[in-house]
Amino acid sequence: SGDSLFDAVRAAGVDAFLTADLRHHPSSEAREHSDLALLDAAHWATEWPWTEQAAAQLDEISDRHGWDLRTHVSRIVTDPWTAHAAAPAVRASAPSLSV
């Protein structure tokens, strides 16, 4: 989980942190202590865009060494998520309550 790096990320002074598998409570606490934007992206979604390029590079290495190997990129989506719901905008302050 990327949340083990929150202290180092905040100390680096970055505005946003892209990782995967964030846990709820450490993420909530990190947001309470800074304006750090957390981007929790699924593994397949972040890895898929570069797989064809990686396959081509591996095939090139194989050709260069005469290994007669070919790389196959699977098209099976392995992310367990089938839906996405955007979070509401973060409020600047807590809502007021009328009693």
Please write the tens of the pLDDT for every residue from 27-79.
898 888 888 889 888 888 888 899 999 999 999 999 999 999 999 999 998 88
Query: d(Cα 62, Cα 66) in Å, to the nearest integer?
Result: 6
- Whether pTM exceeds 0.75: no
8-12, 20-24, 41-45, 81-85 — most confident range: 8-12
Give the whole-angstrom CA distance, residue 27 versus residue 33: 10
19 within 8 A of 39, measured Cβ to Cβ: yes
In this structure, which long-range contacts are made by residues 59-62, counting pairs with CB atoms below 8 Å and at least 24 apart in sequence? none
- pLDDT, tens only, 13-27: 989 998 888 889 998
Per the CB < 8 A criterion, the answer to whether 27 and 38 are in contact is yes
